[in-house]
Amino acid sequence: MVELKTNISNIKNNIAKFLDLLFITDILIKFQRYLLPKHIRSVNYHDLMLGRENLFEEHIKFFVKNYQILGRQEIESYFDHKDNTKPGLLITFDDGLLSHYNIAYKILEKYGLKAFFMVPGGFIVSKNSIEFAKTNHIDYYESPAKSVSMNLQQLKEVSINHEICCHTWNHIRLTPDLTQLDYIHEISDAKEKLSKLIDKNVDSFCWVGGEEYTYSKGAFAEIKRSNYTLCFTSNNSPLYKGSNRLFINRTNIEYYYPLYLMKFQVSGLMDLLYIKKRKRVAKIINAD
Ligand SMILES: [Zn+2]
């Protein structure tokens, strides 16, 4: 059985708790808001658990208060409007899971927010989503439901107000040892097929995995060739007006993180920890 980790590294958890008690996390978040140039942060979630929706909703309430939450069409205009005083925020959900429809989508609608769903098309149309998840390394929580993915009808409903992004077709890590045909199948064919499925043009891509070995020059060349206009990685950093839109770094948050840990993740400290990895990945894929 694939199970998501629910244990947070103890050291990180204790540091986050300590910094929050001293209000340092809040100060860092304010510092970013008032002293950094205008920027947009991106966060990503994985599976969410039914019955524990309130934890995720707490995060959303914090985001609503402290950020301007943006949809696909609002990214560029955000930078042009002088009256935006809060940092922007893109909320993203990886893997096309059923909980994204049952929990995330419902809560986003309740608050009138827009978000990004990173979807491996093959997962949505698979006959046995549990088998697909196991074979293709999609982590999920056990539930009595027969399926762990959204079905096409649910995905289409989500696509009305939210951005559906290609997360390869088979949830494949785009390592350098894959062939050109693999890249085409997982990047450009996946874009076409997902666009057809939802009857809407898909123009954003999201890498799978996030480990350093999962980035490759060949895959990035294919991403550019396929005319994607946004491309998401992990690696923690805000997007600025002049930043490369094909190298949007996201910060990982799990729905069960207590507020102090969620705030720690977006406090800017993670950005600093990832400076070297970001540079290495940019070099691997040739993105500057
Ligand atoms: Zn994924």
Q: Distance of CA 35 to CAs 27, 172, 192, 271, Å?
A: 11, 39, 42, 16
Quote the crossing angle between the two packed helices 190-198 and 152-161, to the nearest 10°. 90
Please give the structure tokens belonging to residue 231.
């491309």
Q: Which domains does the chain have, with CATH numbers?
A: 8-37 (no CATH), 38-261+275-285 (3.20.20.370)
Comparing CA positions, the residue from 237, 254, 169, 179 lying closest to residue 208 is 169
Rounded distance from Cα 171 to ligand 1 centre (Å): 6
Ligand 1 centroid–CA 126 distance in Å is 16
CA of 31 relative to ligand 1 center, distance in Å: 31
28 CA distance to ligand 1 centroid (A)?
A: 29
CA distance 123 to 101: 14
Q: How far is the CA of 15 from the centre of ligand 1 (A)?
A: 28
Given a cut of 80, is residue 288 above it in pLDDT?
no
Smallest Cα–Cα separation from 224: which of 243, 244, 241, 195? 244
Helix or strand holding residue 204 (H, E): strand 204-206
Q: How many angstroms separate the CA atoms of 71 and 96, rounded?
A: 18
pLDDT at 5: 54
Residues 160-170 have pLDDT tens digits of 999 999 999 99
What does the DSSP 8-state code read for residue 87?
P
Give the distance (Å) from ligand 1 centre to CA of residue 95: 5
| Distance between Cα 102 and ligand 1 center (Å) | 18
Query: How many whole angstroms from 69 Cα to the centroid of ligand 1?
Result: 22
- How far apart are the CA of 8 and the centre of ligand 1, in A? 19
Give the phi and the psi of residue 240 in degrees, each rounded to 5: -110, 170
Question: Sorting pLDDT into bands at 50, 70 and 90, what band is 143?
Answer: confident
- Reference 248, options 29, 75, 62; nearest CA is 75
Q: How long, in residues, is the chain?
A: 288
Report the number of secondary-structure helices (H) and strands (E) in the chain: 15, 9
pLDDT tens by residue, 229-285: 999 999 999 999 999 999 999 999 999 999 999 999 999 999 999 999 999 999 999
Give me the residue label for tokens 């196991």: 134
Centre of ligand 1 to C-alpha 68, Å, is 25
CA of 173 to the centre of ligand 1 (A): 9
Say how many CA atoms lie within 13 Å of 77 toward its Cβ.
7
Res 6: pLDDT:
53
